[in-house]
Amino acid sequence: MRLLVLGIALGAVFALPLRAQDEEDSALLNFLVIKDYNGKPVRNASVVMHPVNKQGRQGRGGLELKTDADGKASFDGAPYGKLRVQVLAQGFQTFGADYNIDKPTLDITIKMKRPGEQYSIYDDHPGEKKDDAKPQEKQ
């Protein structure tokens, strides 16, 4: 019985800040994900959002959206403050940036880049000095 009363009291305490927020404390976020090299939309890209605290650390929780055929995704109800946005799509570099949500509506355009060439120690790299000499032995 005590646990039930304690649970109800704690639930009421934590629910008060949620009710105190006005509708103006949240924003509508409109994302447009396009290809960097030609401006065409990227469909089915994952847009992941995480809150960021005052120390710049990513908070717990988050939300994932998928872009439609036009490369668009939107979320209504994002809290004001810092928000970390990551975008992942097959065949593109992962995008990540922090945004300050301070307006009721925010339009965010993200340009996805192709992945860069990977570096291999086995390939010839012009301009680098080759050291084919054997290391000298200490006497």
Measuring CA to CA, which residue among 79, 62, 76, 66 is closest to residue 33? 66
Tell if the pTM clears 0.75, that is, is over it. Answer: no
66 lies in some domain: yes
120 lies in some domain: no
Residue with the larger pLDDT of the pair 83 and 2: 83
- So what's the pLDDT on residue 17? 46
The CA distances from residue 42 to 110, 113, 117, in Å, are 10, 11, 21
Contact at 8 Å (CB) between 26 and 77?
yes
1 lies in some domain: no
Instruction: Report the number of distinct structural domains present in the chain.
Output: 1
53 lies in some domain: yes
- Interval 22-40 mean pLDDT: 87
32 lies in some domain: yes
pLDDT band of residue 5 (cuts 50, 70, 90) is very low
CATH number at residue 106: 2.60.40.10
Contact at 8 Å (CB) between 111 and 34?
yes
Structural domain that includes position 43: 23-112
- So what's the pLDDT on residue 19? 42
The separation between CA 94 and the C-alpha centre of its own chain, rounded to angstroms, equals 9
- So what's the pLDDT on residue 15? 47
pLDDT above 60 (res 93): yes
Checking DSSP bridges between strand 95-101 and strand 81-88, what pairing results, if any? Answer: antiparallel
54 lies in some domain: yes
135 lies in some domain: no
- So what's the pLDDT on residue 55? 83
137 lies in some domain: no
Burial class (CB in 10 A: 0-12, 13-18, 19+), 31: buried
Q: How far apart are CA 4 and CA 12, in angstroms?
A: 12
